[in-house]
């Protein structure tokens, strides 16, 4: 695995990181599997610091980490670009990024067809703008996107803010990774763009807010490049999200009326709600060990969590701090955490 690390290191040596994003620099990285962590010239036993693909504090410095899964070594050029994504998270941490989303509150999705009609329309407009060769189409679509987002941010404030923040934190990281991929392998870059366009026009994916926003945010930044629209690349002490920044720069708006109901979206909402209830019902049929107490949540996999009422189902893991006994607890999923009314504290967790 250290030989793979060295191949990726060689790929990354050809990238000028500052040209990907102002001030961005290369960070150290590590690969890991279920047993070992690999640093190129050494390896250590894996521990609970190494969870997911992200950036962590490691021995006083930021470290980008990537878990090697089955089939994960088929394309090292794509893997190198993914590691650039995680390095950008290290860069955000170093620059005291403060626009992080509240993932717990973000799990409370609206189930209003109008919200998803507008969101779906935004995706269609963005995909059309990316593929069109006509500058005026790109610009007019951007104006409609901004107009739609402004309406959504007024009518569905919390849900829209969560999207703003995911697009800013994860969308920028994915965008920077994509720019790196365009340097490494242009053909792979084009394949990824094509994949992104399918995702942002998928009327099922719009319910997976976090994943959807990765791809929407990065594709939106690519559109801004095509239109030569510059945004602030400052992170430290910058309160404005990417979409809010653009909304302040694009003056023109169009009137957004009530969009016609899309029966497919309406059916998908019903299916999503039914599947959500089934997830929780199946868990409770198998798991009933309660652990009441006073806990703080300080670690989770945001890509694999679901919320129903005051309960959150963590499919992979959750890390809690037991305030009564002053100790950290790592719980492998599936596990449900139960929150108090204002979601400031975990008051119980349920396991098998």
Of 198, 153, 194, 192, the residue nearest 175 (C-alpha): 192
DSSP 169: I
Q: E strands, 33-151, where?
A: 36-38, 43-45, 54-58, 61-67
- Pick from 237, 178, 196: nearest CA to 21: 178
Report the mean per-residue pLDDT for the chain.
Answer: 95
**Residue 65, pLDDT score:** 98
The pLDDT-based confidence of 72 (bands split at 50, 70, 90) is: confident
Q: Is 22 helix (H, G, I), strand (E, B) or coil?
A: coil
pLDDT score, position 257:
87
Could you read off the pLDDT of 183-224 as tens digits, one per residue? 999 999 999 999 999 999 999 999 999 999 999 999 999 999
pTM above 0.85, yes or no: yes
Domain boundaries, the chain: 2-94, 103-249, 287-351
Q: Which candidate, 59, 9, 55, 1, places its Cα nearest to that of 32?
A: 1
Residue indicated by tokens 């961005």: 24
257-288 pLDDT, tens digit per residue, is 888 889 999 999 999 999 999 999 999 999 99
Strand order in the sheet with 54-58: 43-45, 36-38, 28-32, 61-67, 54-58
d(CA 188, CA 182): 8
User: Residue with structure tokens 């090292």?
Assistant: 76
Per-residue pLDDT, 261: 85
């Amino acid at each position: 695995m250290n030989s793979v690390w060295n191949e990726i290191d060689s790929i990354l040596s050809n990238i000028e990181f500052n040209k990907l994003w102002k001030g961005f620099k290369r960070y150290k990285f590590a690969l890991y599997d279920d047993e070992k962590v690999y640093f190129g010239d050494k390896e250590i036993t894996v521990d609970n610091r190494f969870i997911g693909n992200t950036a962590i504090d490691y021995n006083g410095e930021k470290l980008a980490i990537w878990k090697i899964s089955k089939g994960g070594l088929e394309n090292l050029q794509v893997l190198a670009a993914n590691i650039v994504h995680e390095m950008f998270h290290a860069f955000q941490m170093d620059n005291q990024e403060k626009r992080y989303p509240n993932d717990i509150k973000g799990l409370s999705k609206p189930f209003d067809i109008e919200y998803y009609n507008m969101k779906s329309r935004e995706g269609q407009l963005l995909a059309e703008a990316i593929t069109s060769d006509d500058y005026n189409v790109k610009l007019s679509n951007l104006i409609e996107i901004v107009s739609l987002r402004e309406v959504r941010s007024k009518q569905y404030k919390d849900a829209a803010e969560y999207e703003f923040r995911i697009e800013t934190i994860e969308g920028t990281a994915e965008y920077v990774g994509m720019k790196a991929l365009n340097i490494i392998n242009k053909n792979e870059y084009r394949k990824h763009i094509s994949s992104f366009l399918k995702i942002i026009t998928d009327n099922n994916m719009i319910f997976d807010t976090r994943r959807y926003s990765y791809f929407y945010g990065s594709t939106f930044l690519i559109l801004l490049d095509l239109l030569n629209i510059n945004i602030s690349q400052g992170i430290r002490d910058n309160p404005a999200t990417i979409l809010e920044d653009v909304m302040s720069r694009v003056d023109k708006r169009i009137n957004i009326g009530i969009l016609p109901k899309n029966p497919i979206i309406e059916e998908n909402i019903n299916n999503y709600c039914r599947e959500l209830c089934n997830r929780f019902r199946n868990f409770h049929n198998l798991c009933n060990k309660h652990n009441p107490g006073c806990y703080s949540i300080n670690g989770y996999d945001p890509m694999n969590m679901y919320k129903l009422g005051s309960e959150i189902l963590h499919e992979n893991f959750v890390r809690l701090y037991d305030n009564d006994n002053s100790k950290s607890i790592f719980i492998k999923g599936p596990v449900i955490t139960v929150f108090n009314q204002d979601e400031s504290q975990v008051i119980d967790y349920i396991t098998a």
